[in-house]
Amino acid sequence: DIQMTQSPSSVSASVGDRVTITCRASQGISSWLAWYQQKPGKAPKLLIYAASSLQSGVPSRFSGSGSGTDFTLTISSLQPEDFATYYCQQANSFPTFGGGTKVEIK
Amino acid sequence: QVQLVESGGGVVQPGRSLRLSCAASGFTFSSYGMHWVRQAPGKGLEWVAVIWYDGSNKYYADSVKGRFTISRDNSKNTLYLQMNSLRAEDTAVYYCARDLVEMATILSLTDYWGQGTLVTVSS
């Protein structure tokens, strides 16, 4: 199985801050990676697919980059509704998720 | 709009069985592969199983292989997960999710997810 390692596991930030979350795959996955946002009690919501493609309806402050083993999700200017947990997922092999990054209010 | 609605969760004793359903609407169900993903209380996401759009291929996580069976009825726009020999560690919210790619013949990422159904395995 391909292991996905996310960092940090949590981050405290303020509204307007730039936030960067990284995800590292244990082996190359090309660009077959997605980022999801999950709020408490809700289902995950797709933000980014194929490493850098923005899902329809998702604000442009979210962006993704990377290929191979190292990937990044960036929120350019954190908004109040962005406080949530974020997961990366690969599907180059049997799908696996990163451990999650909780974005908390500073 | 795409809607996925899971049902069938509940409290079940260890060793017993349960069948989950996922009713799909708002898209051509028979054109999309479907996944089950679970989340134990307070934990992260764990992929469980996938079935191809036409039911021709099914794959499982090692943690459920031999105990769980994914299936679909394209005439009823419904996905199923038959869970046998349940264990305490199967306690989780179970989500169904749609393939990102229509008529995918490779493993795919997911786009739309249902709201989930809680399965609690306890004596």
**Per-residue pLDDT tens over the stretch B27-79:** 999 999 999 999 999 999 999 999 999 999 999 999 999 999 999 999 999 99
Residue A24 exposed, middle or buried by CB count within 10 Å (0-12, 13-18, 19+): middle
**Per-residue pLDDT tens over the stretch A11-56:** 999 999 999 999 999 999 999 999 999 999 999 999 999 999 999 9
Residue B108: band (very low, low, confident or very high) from pLDDT cuts 50, 70, 90: confident
* Other CB atoms within 10 Å distance of the CB of residue B19: 13
Strands (E), B52-109: 58-60, 68-73, 78-83, 92-102
* Other CB atoms within 10 Å distance of the CB of residue B115: 14
Token code pair at residue A64: 């993704």
C-alpha distance from A79 to closest chain B C-alpha (Å): 23
**Per-residue pLDDT tens over the stretch B68-87:** 999 999 999 999 999 999 99
> Of B95, B107, B109, which has the smallest distance from its Cβ to A43's Cβ?
B95
Token code pair at residue B29: 């169900």
At residue B104, the pLDDT reads: 85
Interface probe for A, chosen from B62, B100, B112, B118 (most Cβ of A below 10 Å), is B100
Cross-strand partners of A4: A25
Q: B107 — contact with chain A (CB < 8 Å)?
A: yes
Cis peptide before A8 (omega within 30 of 0): yes
Q: Which residues of A touch B108 (CB under 8 A)?
A: 91
Q: B78 — contact with chain A (CB < 8 Å)?
A: no
At residue A87, the pLDDT reads: 98
